[in-house]
Amino acid sequence: MAKDTSDTLISMKTSEKTLRAIRNNLPIELEPNALPRDISIERIEQLRVQYQAKLRVMNESKLVPRNKIFYELIKERHPTFSWEIVNHRGNFMIVQVDRFYVNNCHPTLLSLLIQDLSISQKHKLRYRYVCIKDLTTDFSEDLSQVMRILSVVYPNQTTMKNIVLWLQQGLAGKKLVMISPVCPDYSFEETGNLKRPFRYTFNKLGSGIGLVAKRAVDAIPILDNFFKKYNIFIEYVIAMGDFEAHTQSNLNRLNLTEDTFLSKLKGSRSAIQQACPIVNNVSMVTELCGGKENWLNLLQLYRNRLEKHDFGQSSITKKTMMGIIKARKKLYDQWYGERSSLEEYITLLINQGAEYAAMGDIFSKNFSNALILGCDHCAMEPFYTIASFIPTLYLQPAY
């Protein structure tokens, strides 16, 4: 049986430094005690020999991606390991690598290459999260399956712990609320990409079920079957982003009046109710906060806070703001047109982040034992928790 070395896994810093040296055929210079006691520098040099041998066999002038040989060597040790290129533009590349687990920890590439590890199944929640031990085996297995079916964006340890606490309240007999904020029915086009099959064009506004709402409508019956199996009573709420009718630039782009925009949203509300009758409540966001004026006041409050870099109890920092802008830039360019400066993108994010913060405030005040089911881009998730904590679970978006 493989030895469990989860308490002495090789660090990310040591892994990256070592693999870089091997790729560039440079001496390996590590800090004292950087490697676990049972791993010698000679074992690292053996890996270099393996790398050079594989390099000669592959005979590629330029490795794409740079860790391709290491991925192939890992697969020889762990046959179920896989990787794929999910985005490639010029020299910029995103590689999706299987995330194995060793006692709820992610082993680094170097650990997978040279350490004797008891690798856990990556799709099982109990291997990903420490907190899953607080649920029964049957419940956690069923939850694992539902999350795979729905293509959930697996949250961090802290968020998952709060989701487990939320579920435990339901198991104890308390009524839970699941809220899905959804966008209006903006026009979109097909991309041909199976992972992101649609792209918003924002040229028209329909009165049907939009991309984000469709994701929620399809997911809720699957979730409901799971909750019913365990006698958990859930109130499902879909909150429609009618506040987007109060932005003049949005109305100008769509060539609509505010009244026409809101009329189309009423049509979308009816379509959602007809398509998913188990949803208990399809509301406009501004209805939940007492009307347009209250919404605009709340929005300005959070816009002012974000401009002062007051991120409340969320995980947002100035650095993470830049990461969110990078993740959202393409969507912003489609929605608002390409901007000429970083400051303009920061303004766009602050305005949108204030909307999410205001919604988080509204939801936490209107509903007890609530969880947000996000079906848009998960990059915006931290803004919900600026005012007060509310757990979130995100699905992979369709766009």
User: Who contacts 348 (Cβ-Cβ below 8 Å, separation ≥6)?
Assistant: 332, 336, 339
Amino acid identity at 161: K
Q: Answer yes or no: do 92 and 201 share one domain.
A: no
Instruction: For the chain, state the CA radius of gyration.
Output: 24
Dump pLDDT digits (tens) for 357-394: 999 999 999 999 999 999 998 999 999 999 888 999 99
Q: Answer yes or no: do 238 and 378 share one domain.
A: yes
Q: Answer yes or no: do 210 and 179 share one domain.
A: yes
Task: Taking residues 327-334, report their average pLDDT.
Answer: 88
Q: What is the pLDDT of residue 334?
A: 85
Number of folded domains that form the chain: 2
Dump pLDDT digits (tens) for 263-294: 999 999 999 999 999 999 999 999 999 999 99
Q: Answer yes or no: do 287 and 350 share one domain.
A: yes
Q: What is the pLDDT of residue 335?
A: 86
Q: What is the pLDDT of residue 6?
A: 44
With respect to residue 47, please indicate whether it lies within any of the assigned structural domains.
yes
Q: Answer yes or no: do 74 and 109 share one domain.
A: yes
With respect to residue 94, please indicate whether it lies within any of the assigned structural domains.
yes
With respect to residue 126, please indicate whether it lies within any of the assigned structural domains.
no
Q: Answer yes or no: do 108 and 138 share one domain.
A: no
With respect to residue 136, please indicate whether it lies within any of the assigned structural domains.
yes
> Residue 94's pLDDT band (boundaries 50, 70, 90)?
low
Q: Answer yes or no: do 151 and 61 share one domain.
A: no
Give percent of the chain with pLDDT exceeding 70: 92
Amino acid identity at 246: H
Q: Put residue 287 in one of left, alpha, beta given phi > 0 → left and psi -120 to 50 → alpha.
A: alpha
Q: Which two tokens stand for residue 372?
A: 């947000």
Q: Answer yes or no: do 101 and 143 share one domain.
A: no
Global pTM value: 0.74
User: Who contacts 157 (Cβ-Cβ below 8 Å, separation ≥6)?
Assistant: 104, 129, 130, 131
Q: Is 63 helix (H, G, I), strand (E, B) or coil?
A: coil
With respect to residue 121, please indicate whether it lies within any of the assigned structural domains.
no
With respect to residue 123, please indicate whether it lies within any of the assigned structural domains.
no
When the pLDDT of each residue in the chain is averaged and rounded to a whole number, the result is 89
Which CATH number belongs to the domain containing residue 251 in this structure?
A: 3.40.50
Q: Which two tokens stand for residue 390?
A: 């509310």
Q: Which domain holds residue 256?
A: 132-395
With respect to residue 125, please indicate whether it lies within any of the assigned structural domains.
no
